[in-house]
Structure 1
């Protein structure tokens, strides 16, 4: 008798709904989010936003088969720090409005090089001098051994 009283007081109380998961609930949890846009839709949205913001020298690199973490990489330039920041904010706003849930942005305080990672598409927005220095296009388009890493 003492054992049953002890076990009831030591064990945490679990709500009845958490004890059993129906097959319908498990199936819904396993399905990808229907609101998450696919890579091509995301790519078109980003390219449209870049065009609207007058981004310069936009290059799209197809990473399918070269990279496991992203399908496309976009490299573009803004004329100055403020232009780079405005482009990045506009693209980020458009991604969030379209339902992309996990948008990660780096480099926005300085606006020399802003990275926007939407999962399927990665966007690099550079000032022209910084873009020329890092030359990412050459890295991803001319050296397949490095791109496969």
Structure 2
């Protein structure tokens, strides 16, 4: 999954381990795109790679407007933001309360 984000030139990719902390998912990945178009392109590329990898049933929201795309594979939730939107919602801070639960991937 992170290889797909790297291939799409996603920026500031962060993975957060949610195992035992949330019933939503085991992991969360947060990344940024430079513009509306880039966010949508990163999400589209990731969805194609997920489908090829056997995760074709991922739920997707927000791909049309490109501010914030949420992709839910069941075990992993991926958020792809424009930088301003990511900064506003600051999801990393909300989910990274426990020390050591966040790891920078770039």
Does TM, normalized by the shorter one, top 0.5? yes
TM-score (norm 2): 0.89
> Counterpart of 1:107?
62
Higher-Rg member (1/2): 1
TM-score by length of 1: 0.64
Measure how far apart 1:115 and its partner are.
0.2
Count of aligned pairs between the two proteins: 99
Q: Residue 74 of structure 2 aligns to a residue in which SS?
A: coil
More helix by share: 1
1:143, distance to aligned residue in structure 2 (A): 6.8
Aligned equivalent of 1:121, options 73, 76, 86: 76
- What stretches of structure 1 move > 6 A for 4+ residues in a row? none
Query: Superposition pairs for residues 1-149 of structure 1, below 5 Å?
Result: 46-142=1-97
Greater strand proportion: 2
Structure 2, unmatched stretches of 5+, are: 100-106
Instruction: Tell me by how many angstroms 1:137 deviates.
Output: 0.3
Residue 78 of structure 1 contacts residue 84 of structure 1 at CA under 8 Å; is this kept in 2? yes
Quote the RMSD (CA, aligned, Å): 1.3
Instruction: Measure how far apart 1:90 and its partner are.
Output: 0.5
In structure 2, what is the Cα distance between the partners aligned to 1:76 and 1:99? 22
Partner of 2:104: none
Q: Is the 8 A contact 1:60 1:72 kept in 2?
A: yes
